[in-house]
Chain A
Amino acid sequence: MRTLPATGTSPHEITDDLFVHEPVAAEVAMEVAASAADAPWKAALKRLGKNRGVVPAFVLIMVITVLAFVGPLLTPYTYDGQNVAHSNLPPKISGLGWLGFDGLDSNGVDLYAKRNITEAHWFGTDEFGRDMWTRVWKGTQISLLIALVAALLDLFIGVLYGGISAYYGGKIDNVMQRIIEVLVGIPNLIVIILFILILEPGITSIILAMTITGWVGMARIVRGQILQLKGQEFVLAARSLGVSNSRIMFKHLIPNAMGPIIVTLMFTLPTAIFFEAFLSFIGLGLQAPLASLGVLINDGYKGMRLFPYKLVIPAVMISLIMISFNLLADGLRDALDPKMTK
């Protein structure tokens, strides 16, 4: 067998002895074409990393999530422990006085000194003397939990419903789509209010109320994707191999619709957080002493003039969460764009 000349020894002059027949091994010729490339998910991850907004957003989400669980443990207080002596204290963090965490109220009086309190409440306290730091993180924790569970329920119902509707098509699809249209036709706020009136207000009922209409968006996205995919020849190929319907669904269709599903899921999260806050704000949300960011904002809003920190801190928190999730979802959409991965 002849070996290929190494690239390092390429001749520099055209000499007569170069004009001899020298066939390329067939295998080498074949190999030339198949150049190594990344697995689809790896390539998407690479593109994701290149996106400027994604990395800080992701870090922020991680920090907020960790603090939501660790934060309440950093202080000796509990989120529902009342202490009338400590009511309405402004935020105070030693060393961060220049940021406004100086323990002064809106009149410039140091309430900590006035009331002879030695401990510092980092985010201040509410009118019952409950520590705001603990309550904000507990609230974030509950908000995130509600959003995550609601989004996962949306995902589950939406993927199943949309998938079945699109894959079986025909009459089944027709009926299922009409049901969706009826659901969409009823203003969802009315559905949710009725729902919460029937059930006891609480985390479960909020989640259920949000899911009862929330899955429709996901179902539509999945249906559109599956409709597009099921006409593709690889699905026909699987069917002609005798692959079962469920395997076609979970091995061939859903993995290829994963991009839009993940993106929709990521956009559902901030929407759910916001919607929960909205429900709590209009009084349909959690009941005291439980706190979510919406409840905290509602409470803070009542005393906005005198104790602005009660409103500002949870409001900033919810904004940060919303912005981060939106940035991350945006980046994911760009990275998973089906037009880019062929």
Chain B
Amino acid sequence: MNQPILTVDGLHVAFHSQRGEVHAVRGVSFCLQKQETLAIVGESGSGKSVTAKAIMRLLPKQSTSIPAGQITYAGQNVLALPPRELQSLRGAEISMVFQDPMTSLNPTMTIGQQLVEGISKHQRLDKAAAYEKAVNMLQLVGIPNAQERIRAYPHHFSGGMRQRVGIAMALACDPKVLIADEPTTALDVTVQAQILELMKSLQQRTGTGIILITHDLGVVANMAQKVAVMYAGEVVETGPIAEIFYRPKHPYTWGLLRSMPRLDAAGTEPLIPIPGTPPDLARQQQGCPFAPRCAHVMKVCKHFSPPLTEVSSGHTAKCWLLDQRAQQQERLAGVAGG
């Protein structure tokens, strides 16, 4: 019964740049259920946005290649779809909200024209019905005077309002999957709160599955049921939200959680940052990509890539610390030390 609507399996993406091949996504797998929000967390350059664009097939053809992996939506492989079918998939079945809504809206068309264009392309509605639907969508995303504002151009809207229009555009054709790429990063906190509320209430109404890409763990805690933590092009840990926040297993996840100050904590305990900087993905690397920054690094980490270990149902992590032998060593060290 619990059939996922979207599955990504072993996805690899490589960019061809002047500096050589940049292996931006290295074997990413996850799945998304109906009405579920999956958050992909990671720092810049971790490959989270590239993964999203790969699902939408929005990566530039000349400079990227997908050497391996599968993206399955409703039983069909998205990566193998011919252009025409891809057209009907994009926007109607899977749609996307961007970080800067200005780039996704055409500045020379009114938002009404753009909404109607999208709606009439994917749904068999006559112009009047499409127009009505567009007005409805704008009302739904909380734009006051939708009847009038529909004739306005994107630059007439403020940042938050533009993002609402972006969401209206994305949801106009009742997609099954909505990919939100840092939808609130460019917005202020009070407006961010509004947009997050809006996305949640719309999800309850339409049952859309959301893939939320963000670097803000607070937003994740607010929105998601499932989390995938990405580092250097790999999903290093994934699981239900409570598992990730309360029982994280990967040192990178520990680091992320500990390097954020707590608003509710009194006094000032020093933050524990992750030392160093993320690796250069243009270089070939050996072993675990996090090893150079990891406080718990072992000899093995530098030479062998850690396997995916299931910690509990649905909670997996890629770390040698979860290996039995490492735990044995720890116990030994504990005995020796204590």
Contact = CB atoms under 8 A, between A and B. Distances in A.
**Contact present between A and B (CB < 8 A):** yes
Interface of A: 5, 7, 10-11, 14, 16-24, 26, 28-30, 32-33, 35
Contacts of B299: 5, 17-20, 22
Nearest to B278: A33
Contact of A18 (B277, B280, B303, B328): B303
Given A5-B302, A29-B276, A33-B277, A24 B326 contact: no
Interface of B: 275-280, 286, 291-300, 302-304, 320, 323, 325-326, 328-329, 333
In the complex, the 10 A-B pairs of residues with the closest C-beta atoms, listed nearest first: A18-B300, A33-B277, A29-B276, A18-B299, A19-B325, A19-B326, A19-B329, A10-B303, A22-B299, A29-B292
Given A21-B298, A22-B298, A29-B276, 17 more contacts: A10-B303, A14-B304, A16-B328, A18-B298, A18-B299, A18-B303, A19-B300, A21-B333, A22-B299, A24-B291, A26-B275, A29-B292, A30-B277, A32-B277, A32-B292, A33-B278, A33-B280
Contacts of A20: 298-299, 329
Nearest to A4: B302
Contacts of A16: 325, 328
B290 to A, nearest CB: 11
B245 to A, nearest CB: 26
Contacts of A11: 303
A11 B303 CA distance: 7
A341 to B, nearest CB: 11
B286 A10 contact: yes
A33 B45 CA distance: 13
B275 A29 contact: yes
B275 A19 contact: no
Most chain B Cβ neighbours within 10 Å, of A7, A10, A18, A29? A18
A19 B329 CA distance: 7
Most buried by A among B295, B299, B323, B329: B299
Nearest to B321: A19
A153 B143 CA distance: 58
A28 B320 CA distance: 21
Contacts of B277: 30, 32-33
Given A28-B292, A32-B292, A33-B280, A19 B298 contact: yes
B271 to A, nearest CB: 17
B175 to A, nearest CB: 34
Nearest to A34: B277
Contacts of A5: 299, 302
A14 B300 CA distance: 7
B297 A23 contact: yes
Contacts of A10: 286, 302-303
Contacts of A14: 300, 304
Contacts of B304: 14, 18
Contacts of A17: 299
A19 B291 contact: no
Contact of B320 (A7, A19, A32): A19
B88 to A, nearest CB: 35
A139 to B, nearest CB: 43
B329 A33 contact: no
B335 to A, nearest CB: 15
21 contacts: A5-B302, A7-B286, A10-B303, A14-B304, A18-B299, A18-B304, A19-B328, A20-B299, A21-B329, A21-B333, A22-B298, A22-B302, A24-B291, A24-B292, A24-B297, A28-B292, A29-B276, A30-B276, A32-B277, A32-B279, A33-B276
A30 B275 contact: yes
Contacts of A33: 276-278, 280
A35 B278 CA distance: 12
Contacts of A24: 291-294, 297
Contact of B295 (A18, A19, A23): A23
Nearest to B294: A24
Contacts of B300: 14, 18-19
Contacts of A21: 296-298, 329, 333
A10 B277 CA distance: 24
Contacts of A30: 275-277
A33 B276 CA distance: 7
A29 B293 contact: yes
A7 B333 CA distance: 27
Nearest to B280: A35
Contacts of B297: 21-24
A11 B299 CA distance: 10
A35 to B, nearest CB: 6
A161 B261 CA distance: 51
A244 B98 CA distance: 43
B110 to A, nearest CB: 31
A30 B278 CA distance: 10
A18 B320 CA distance: 10
A29 to B, nearest CB: 4
A13 to B, nearest CB: 9
Contacts of B303: 10-11, 18
Contacts of A19: 298-300, 320, 323, 325-326, 328-329
B317 to A, nearest CB: 16
A10 B294 CA distance: 19
A22 B299 CA distance: 6
A293 to B, nearest CB: 40
A19 B320 CA distance: 8
A28 B276 CA distance: 9
A7 B283 CA distance: 15
Contacts of B275: 26, 29-30
Contacts of A35: 280
A35 B281 CA distance: 12
A28 B292 CA distance: 8
A339 to B, nearest CB: 13
B336 to A, nearest CB: 12
A248 to B, nearest CB: 31
Nearest to B323: A19
